[in-house]
Amino acid sequence: MVSFHPPAPHLVPIEPPTLSTLRFTPNPADAPTSHTLPGTHPEFSVHDAFRHGLHSVKHEVGAVAHHPLEPVLAQADQLATQRSLTLQRRVYGLHAPLRLQMERSLLALKHQSPVFKSVNLGLEVMAGKDESIDVEDVLGDRDECVDDIDFHAVMERKLKIKV
């Protein structure tokens, strides 16, 4: 019996080839145009210290001031993938991007025990990330941070101490 599986969330929709699918930068219309700061009076935009605590410039600057390249860097991989799929569709036909997305969905399946972190080397090879050393390769992910490990529990297991 064949069952239908919904498409994986990492798949990029294949759009008909247009100029917007060949972009190198995000669409400027997608950028947020206004920001509201929490704890300001709606009419006068003055911080209400009695209701919302003391004023913090760090939260104001972090919420409003973003570098213009942040959206470009955040969407760079997605735009490159979409551009690549569009070019392959134009050159080879519709089957090429569909085949690549099918291969990505098969490689993205979890084949390991849930205890161990999955590496997904196949996805890195398909994306071409195996040929370069990035910041994530040197510094690691935030998920692998040592701060989250309970050293006492690890030592108790290692020394076979029961508490």
The domain limits of the chain are: 39-109, 111-162
Strand partners of residue 47:
40
Position 103 pLDDT exceeds 80: yes
Position 132 pLDDT exceeds 60: yes
Tell me which DSSP letter residue 102 carries: H
Question: Residue 5 and residue 123: Cα distance in Å, rounded?
Answer: 20
Averaged pLDDT score across all residues of the chain? 73
Residue 114: what pLDDT?
Answer: 47
Categorise residue 120: left if φ over 0, alpha if ψ from -120 to 50, beta otherwise: left
Please write the tens of the pLDDT for every residue from 45-67.
777 776 667 766 666 666 556 77
pTM of the model: 0.51
